[in-house]
Structure formats: structure tokens, C-alpha cells
A and B are shown apart, each in its own frame.
Chain A
Amino acid sequence: MIESKVKEKLKEEKVKKTTAEADVLKRKRKTLILMMLPISVWLLAVVIIPVATMLNMSFKQVEGFVLKDVFTVNNYLKFFKVEMYWRLFLKSFRMAFIVAIVAIIISYPLAYFIARRIKKFKNILFMLIIVPLWVSYLIRIIAWRSILGNRGFLNVFLMQLGIIKEPLEIFLYNQFAVIITLIYIAIPFVFIPLYTALEKIPDALISASRDLGASGARTFMHVVLPLSRPGLVTGFMLSFIIALGDYIIPKELGGVGGIMYGNVIWHQFGLINDWPLGAALGFILLTVALIVLILSRKLGSKEGVFF
């Protein structure tokens, strides 16, 4: 008798508990749905629909100044048929690759040093690298233009030192100026994921490696470097994509030789007024950027620049 009563009581308690739990879950779900609404509206309105509109535009055609409402893949064919477009794309690809690699080579020792060799002031040193990133894109372009020009800082400096007699014209309005400015912009983007990855490596692993007899170099090659791979991949991806799509730096510092793919896209929205072509070229860039992004997601870490 008592047994059955106890069993009943236990059942009651269980039902109470599960209904209470169910209540909490219901409330949780309601909150979550509420939370999802603003961000979904934003995503739809400001990201998905504009990109869809761009895609739609890329299938149209312009004749004279009139936008014809047709469906054509002409613009995409143009990319492959007209040498200028795909050549310029490959050139930008190459330049962006150089920018990313050099930025990584420059930043890696720095990230290693701050992440693993500094005990005090780590935060400040980290912030000092980040500050140029948030401070101003345009100001950094202004800075490099005034350094590399004929009457710029670099030339004046070299002349004062007596190394050259006349200002050298080779510094500005070419690929070199564009690449070096892009590297300058890219370094903080590369530094953050590298630093994060290097910082996470536990000291214990390094000690274990050394205790097992590996030299510093060997430990680096076989322990540190592979473990920092996610940071390397993310850093490469971020700087590569930034360099690939830039149009202002090539415009202001590239002259004729430093034009990049972004310029040609931009032109379609300027005097040329061929929006469908611009949209198509832009969509090609978008596709390549997405591919790079997906690849790096698979190979790299989930850390980003802002979180």
C-alpha cells in the first residue's frame, strides 16, 4: 500500500518537474524567437536582398543610356572574352597573394614575440598594433602618398642622407606603392588571428617537446607552427580578400601600372555607366571571395577580427 502511494507521489513530482521545465523551455523559446526577428530583418533587408538585386542586375544589358530589361549572360561572357577583365583579375589575385604572404611573414615573428615572450604590457603592445587598424583607412593612404611622392618624406630623407641627388620617381604611382600600402593595411588584420592562435598554445606542450630533446628550431617547426595554422589561414584569408577587392588604394597610389580589378568595377558605376557589367564583375569577385572564405573556414579557426 505504502509502496504504491510512494510511487504515485514520485510520479506527481516528476510530472510537476517536467511541466515546470517545459514552461521554462517555452519561455526560452519565445525569447529566442523575439531575439531573432530584428537581426533577421536586418540581414534580409541590408545584405541578402541587395546582393540578390546585384545578381539580378548582372543579367541585364545597357544600350546607350537605357537599361534594357532582358536576361542575358553576356556580361559574364565578357569577363572571359575580353582580355582586360580576366587579366586584371589575375593580376589583382597575384598582388593580393603577395600582400597576404608578406603581411604574414612580417607579422608572424611579431605575434610570436608578443604572445609568447612578453609577460608585462602584453595588452598595451597588442593594442598598439590594433590602433592603426581602427584609426583611419584614408589617413593611412594619405600618409603613404606623402611618403612615397617626389617631394615626399622618403625622397627627402634619402636626399638629406646624400644617397640620391634627385628625387626618385619609382616609389609612387605603380604596383610597388599599391602593394606596400596594402601590406601596411593588412598587417593588423593578419596579426590578430596569429596572436590569438599563438597565445593559445599551452606552455606544457613546448616544455614537453624540449624535454624530449627537440631543439628550439625543431620545436617551432613541429609544434608551434602546426598549432598556429588556424591563425595563419584566417590571417591569410582576411588580408587576401581585403587586398583583392580594394579600389581606392590602386586609384590613388597606383597610377597606370597599379590598377586593380576593383578599379574596373568602380569605373562601370562612374562615367561608363554600365551597371550590369559592373554587377557581373562584382558578383565574380564575390564568388571568389566566398570560395576563399569557405576554404579558410575548413582549414582555419573561427576567430575573427572583431570577436
Chain B
Amino acid sequence: MIEKKCKTARLDRKKIKFSFLGIYSVVVYIFLYIPLLVVIFYSFSATKSIVYFERFSMDWYKALIEDRTLLQTTLHSVQVGLIATSISIIVGTSGGFFLARAKIKGKEVFATLCQLPLVLPGIIMGLALLVFFMSLNIKLSMFTILLAHTVFTTPVVMFQVASRLQRLGFTYEDAAKDLGANSFKTFFLVILPMIKTAIIGGGLLAFTLSFDEIIITFFVTGTWVTLPVYMYSLLRYGLTPQVFAISTIILFFSIVIIFFMAKFTEVKSERVQR
């Protein structure tokens, strides 16, 4: 009898907690998404002033197609994104392998160093790179932007690969090596296929970050401009409505990419036995 009472009491308590927390969570989600919805909303508004939504219009989207600079800078961003991601996949995969498998004493320090570009404020990396380029008399161009982007894309791929390798464990490599495969064969025929989803997921994430990057990029941009820098320049001289249209399109594509990225990388963390 007492057991039954205890059980129902527990269930009741759980129910009340559920709705409190549940409502709160819904409110937070709304708070997180309203700004994005506002942007999308305004991109379809006909009037230049943001005040009242008069009629539905695709004018701003049409204006986008005629904006040559916009198309050009978008292309630039794609170029930088692809090249930076490719570099970081090569460097990051080998680095991640090293991080997961090496048993050297300084490994922790090494890992922290590689993590720094991600954690430190972008302004520091930006100005450090700027000073670095200037002291070598390197002119600000696509090359400098590319280099700056590898600063954060490489660790992203590297840590994805490292954690995947850690989860996989030594067994497969050891088995391959014991069977006589040399290092090359082991890497390309055994390990690589098993971490390929981590690499792809990390690569997609890296591309997304590169495409959107403004904080560091702003420091190392010369005359060759990427999309976020162009948008920022539009933004500084008042909110032209085209900015909303560009933003909405970027939002859409980013979500698509993230969707695919989620399919490739495991988002769940290891759970202790429940």
C-alpha cells in the first residue's frame, strides 16, 4: 500500500516538473528563434522601412540577382570555404590521428595549443595574423584569408577525427598490422573508411564556419572580399533590406548543410549505463 502511494506521489511530482520545465524550454526556444524569424519576415516585406509589413514581395530577392558584387563575394566565400576545408581535412585528419594514438608526454599541451584558435577571441587571432602578414610584406588577398580560415577549420576537423578514433579503439589497427599490412595500407584501407563520416561531418562544419566567418576575416581582408565582409559593409551604412534577403538564403542553406552534418557525425555523447 505504501509502495503504491510512493510511486504515484513520485509520478505526480514528475508531471508537475515536466510542465514547468517544459513551458520554460518552449519559451527559450521561441527566444532563440524569433530573431531569425524576424529576419526572414522582413526579407519578404515590400516597404523599405521596417515598420509595417505592407505586402508580400520578392523585390529584395530580385535585387539580389542584379547585385554583381554580391554574386562575386558569394563565389569568393565558396572558394575559400572549399579550399580551406580541403586543407584542414588533410592536416586535421593526420593531426587527429596523432592526437588519438600518440603516447608522448607533451600531448596534452599539444592538444591545448591546437584548441587555442577555437577558444581565443577572434580579434586576437585576427590581429596576430595581420601583424604577421605585414611583417613579411605579404599583401592582404585571398591567400591571407585562406590561411586565416585554416586557423579555425583545422582544429574542428582534427578534434572530430580524434574523438572518433578514440571511440574506435586500437583493435582494428592492431589486427591489420599483425596481419602484416604496412602503415599505408592500414591507414587507407582500414582506418580511413571507418572515420570517413567524422571527416565529412567535420568538413561540413568547417565549411559552414568558414562561409560565415567575419571576426578574423575582417582583419586580413584586402580588396578580395568574402560574403560576410560585404554584408557587413552593407550593414554599417544602414540596414538595406537586401541584407535580410541574403540572410534568409544563407539561413536556408546553412540549415541544409547542418542537417547533413548531423547525419554524419554522432551528436550523442557516450552515456553511462542507465
A→B interface (CB under 8 Å): 24, 27-28, 30-32, 34-39, 41-43, 46-51, 53-54, 56-57, 106-107, 109-110, 112-114, 117, 122-123, 126-132, 134-147, 149, 151-153, 156, 184, 187, 196, 199-204, 210, 216, 237-238, 241-242, 244-248, 252, 262, 265-266, 269, 275, 278-279, 282, 285-286, 289-290, 293, 297, 303-307
Contacts and interface: CB of A to CB of B under 8 A. Distances in A.
Contacts of B187: 31
Contact of A39 (B156, B158, B254, B258): B158
B219 A269 contact: yes
Nearest to B259: A127
Contacts of B255: 131, 135
Interface residues of B, number: 105
16 contacts: A24-B178, A27-B182, A28-B183, A32-B102, A35-B95, A39-B94, A39-B154, A39-B158, A42-B95, A42-B154, A56-B135, A134-B205, A142-B39, A142-B231, A146-B50, A156-B52
B44 to A, nearest CB: 14
B14 to A, nearest CB: 8
A53 to B, nearest CB: 4
Contact of A293 (B29, B119, B132): B119
A286 to B, nearest CB: 5
B114 interface: yes
B253 to A, nearest CB: 10
Interface of B: 10, 13, 17-18, 21-22, 24-25, 28-29, 31-36, 38-39, 42, 49-52, 90-92, 94-95, 97-98, 101-102, 110, 112-125, 127-132, 134-135, 147, 150-151, 154-156, 158-160, 162-163, 174, 177-178, 182-183, 186-187, 205, 208-209, 212-215, 218-219, 228, 231-232, 235-236, 239, 243-244, 247, 250-251, 254-255, 258, 262, 267-274
Contacts of B95: 35-36, 38-39, 42
Q: What are the nearest 5 A-B pairs in CB distance?
A: A245-B121, A39-B95, A143-B35, A307-B159, A50-B132
